[in-house]
A and B are shown apart, each in its own frame.
Chain A
Amino acid sequence: MRIGVVTFPGSLDDRDAARAIRLAGADAVALWHGDHDLHGVDALVLPGGFSYGDYLRAGAIASLSPIMTEVIDAANRGMPVLGICNGFQMLTEAHLLDGGLIRNDKGRFICRDQGLRIENNTSDWTNGFAADAEIVIPLKNGEGSFMASSETLKALEGEGRIVARYIGGNPNGSLNDIAGVTNARGNVVGLMPHPEHAVEAGFGPDTDDAMASGVDGLTFFTSVIARSLVGV
């Protein structure tokens, strides 16, 4: 399986995302924001960072990049797309996901290992998790507070489209403790925390067993690979 990672001006986590893809067992393909070409990839990751310095709104200018025409087309045709942090912000700005992200409620940038409960284990990116699995992956952002109208929230909750919820305290004021959502089809997922930083022992969050041994993020990437093999 070939998974593309799009680099925008100001992307930071594109190389970590590519590394996570390789560790999960797929080929990572570097894509460029200014191209109109997905190079025939089977899935896409929009990585974290501060594209365009978060000017206008986080993710807003990137969502108008040339390559986003192809990304939006592919997503609407059912290609798996994962947006992490700034990538999640881009997906909401591109109207591929509901809701929006605003500044953290306490006004602070937050960087810490964060507990999550995976509440949707049927999406293209989360099907490898057990029901209601509790995981720990890093969270690092200044504008991660998820907002949506009450009708949108009701729809997200009612249709099981909350992919992940914060546990052990809401870090940023997100409504209903929402850390990630998906679209109705389950192929587009947006996540504020960073699975790509918890994929290799020695570099992940601490666990009860050993320091820095947490690799809970790897399952997002193995999920999409497993789904491609069954050809659903």
Chain B
Amino acid sequence: MPTIVVEVMPKAELLDPQGKAVAGALGRLSQTQSALANVTGVRVGKRFEISIDGEADAATLAAVRELADTVLSNSVIEDVVGIHVQSAPSSAVA
């Protein structure tokens, strides 16, 4: 079943308090895990996986692009940073 993936991030110029909070925790972890010492920042966004019946044809992709711009993101505070098609919903990486 094809899956259309839409990725949304907070606008780069806006403060991302969620990312900042995660980065703060990584900073504390890096005191015991030196491999994390060169992490300089974290930003947190959203990933939508839209499963569809049949093919991800041009019309469907155009409709999803429209959906991404109008519903899945709010252009005042967020940017759509990626839309792509994969063959199935994501599963855990090996």
Please report A residues at the B interface, Cβ cutoff 8 Å.
56-57, 60, 64, 92-93, 99-107, 145, 147-149, 152, 173
Contacts and interface: CB of A to CB of B under 8 A. Distances in A.
Interface in B62-82: 71-72, 74, 76-78
B74 to A, nearest CB: 6
A107 B77 contact: no
A103 B71 contact: no
A100 B77 contact: yes
Nearest to B11: A147
A33 B94 CA distance: 44
Classify chain B: how many residues form its interface, as a range.
10 to 19
A101 B71 CA distance: 15
B76 A105 contact: no
Contacts, number: 39
A93 B20 CA distance: 25
Nearest to B46: A56
Contacts of B21: 107
Main secondary structure, interface of A, reads loop
Contacts of A152: 76
10 contacts: A57-B77, A64-B71, A99-B76, A100-B74, A102-B17, A103-B17, A106-B17, A107-B17, A107-B20, A145-B15
Contacts of B86: none
B61 to A, nearest CB: 21
A76 B71 CA distance: 21
Contacts of A148: 76
Interface string B11-50: 0001101101100000000000000000000000000000
A107 B76 contact: no
B41 to A, nearest CB: 15
A60 B74 contact: yes
Contacts of A64: 71
Given A92-B74, A105-B17, A107-B21, 13 more contacts: A57-B74, A57-B77, A92-B76, A93-B74, A99-B76, A100-B76, A100-B77, A101-B77, A102-B15, A102-B77, A106-B17, A107-B18, A107-B20
